[in-house]
Amino acid sequence: MARHRLLDFNNELLTCIAGHLELEDLKNLSQVCHRLAVVCHSDAVWKEMLINKFGVGYKMAKESWKEMYTRKHDDPQHNRICPHLSDVNAKCLEPYIQRYHQVLNWLPKNLNCRTCGQNQQDAGLCLYIWQGNTRLRCRDCAYRYHASIPGRHGIMFRMNVLQMYCFTCSRLLGESRGDQSEAEYVDHLLEIITRDSELGRGAMERRKQCMDERQLYAHDCDRLSVLTSGQYFFVDRMWICSWFLRLCDGKVGVGPIDNTALADENGRLNPSARPRGAFSGGFSIVTPELWNYLVETYGLLGPAFGAEDAQGPAYDELHKAIDNWGLT
């Protein structure tokens, strides 16, 4: 009797019911009859399960909801797929497109934080998005607002650098640590806010450059693989630190590379130069590929120093310092 009553429901309601089941229960339900098997194996059920169990309502366009469910199932700590990002959609961003254009054009009107009232033209205005509610806030007020109520899952959108940060997951979204589905959804949201604007397209290009350069830093700078290759260049450590910190803040670097502090009075690599530390005479090592990219992109002030410039007894202490660097 219960089976017949269940089959009286339309497919939409059956999909909703199946989407609340555990995997083993879903499997058992699919074995009842052909109609329920069709419903249980439909991709719509996996979408319901993904939303109900994990709170994720987005995926890559080229994949199925079942594939997305499987990947999210393997990400229980939200290290790569943020469920709170699902609260951000076109509906909550649309009213702020014009405001974003004001930010791009440095127009002071309506650029005040709605909490503290301070003008955020220089610091950059943020949108704090939580449960579909969106408010203009400065970064400090967004942090305070998030911390004021336990369990709040806010997303902060930094309008001037096109960064989205999840307070609960404690990471930037759609960037190096994120899953490809998360990155695709973030790009979709950013395209909404920057559309119909040449300056917005330029901001998107700078964002991509910033993310690409962070990947270069992660793989081609101050790594053991760079050192053991035997082919590397020395870059002033203070410049590298400044460049990387700007990338972390969503901004591209400023040039040129200034290697003058690495040269001695004769214009050679100073044997007293040492790795690590943001101090004058400190250096980082980079691959030839990253060196060429940095010089082409930002320019060079001072000499270029490579591994071949650190040969001879005068550089024994420098090499000992590199050996003790502890690169991984």
Is residue 294 included in any domain, yes or no?
yes
Whether residue 165 sits in one domain with residue 266 = no
Sequence-separated contacts (24+) of 69-77 with Cβ below 8 Å: 71/179, 71/181, 75/179
CATH code for the domain of 97 = 3.30.40
Integer Cα distance of 54 and 78 in angstroms: 9
> Could you read off the pLDDT of 220-276 as tens digits, one per residue?
999 999 999 999 999 999 999 999 999 999 999 998 999 999 999 999 999 999 998
Whether residue 189 sits in one domain with residue 150 = yes
Whether residue 151 sits in one domain with residue 247 = no
Is residue 316 included in any domain, yes or no?
yes
**Residue 15 has what pLDDT?**
87
Whether residue 230 sits in one domain with residue 305 = yes
Q: How large is the average pLDDT for residues 88-115? A: 79
> Could you read off the pLDDT of 22-51 as tens digits, one per residue?
888 888 888 888 888 898 899 999 999 999
Is residue 63 included in any domain, yes or no?
no
Q: Give the residue numbers spanning the domain of 20.
A: 2-54
> Could you read off the pLDDT of 116-167 as tens digits, one per residue?
877 655 556 889 998 878 888 888 888 999 999 888 899 999 988 999 999 9
Split at pLDDT 50, 70, 90, the class of 11 is: confident
Residue 290 above 50 pLDDT?
yes
Residue 195 above 90 pLDDT?
no
Whether residue 224 sits in one domain with residue 306 = yes
> 51: closest CA among 19, 17, 90, 79?
19
Whether residue 89 sits in one domain with residue 50 = no
Integer Cα distance of 85 and 70 in angstroms: 18
Is residue 277 included in any domain, yes or no?
yes
Whether residue 220 sits in one domain with residue 183 = no
Whether residue 151 sits in one domain with residue 109 = yes
Q: Which of 39, 54, 69 is the last residue of a domain?
A: 54
198-220 and 288-298 are packed helices; what angle lies between their axes, rounded to 10 degrees? 150
Number of domains into which the chain is organized: 3
Residue 107 above 70 pLDDT?
no
Q: Out of 161-165, 206-210, 259-263, 278-282, pick the least confident.
A: 278-282
Is residue 158 included in any domain, yes or no?
yes
> Could you read off the pLDDT of 317-326 as tens digits, one per residue?
999 999 999 9
Whether residue 219 sits in one domain with residue 180 = no
**Residue 294 has what pLDDT?**
98
Whether residue 317 sits in one domain with residue 221 = yes
End-to-end Cα separation, the chain, in angstroms: 66
Is residue 203 included in any domain, yes or no?
no
Query: Which range scores top for mean pLDDT: 98-102, 142-146, 207-211?
Result: 207-211
Is residue 309 included in any domain, yes or no?
yes
Integer Cα distance of 68 and 80 in angstroms: 12
Whether residue 238 sits in one domain with residue 163 = no
**Residue 6 has what pLDDT?**
67
Is residue 41 included in any domain, yes or no?
yes
CATH code for the domain of 291 = 3.30.2230
Mean pLDDT of the chain: 90
Q: How large is the average pLDDT for residues 278-298? A: 93
Whether residue 173 sits in one domain with residue 102 = yes
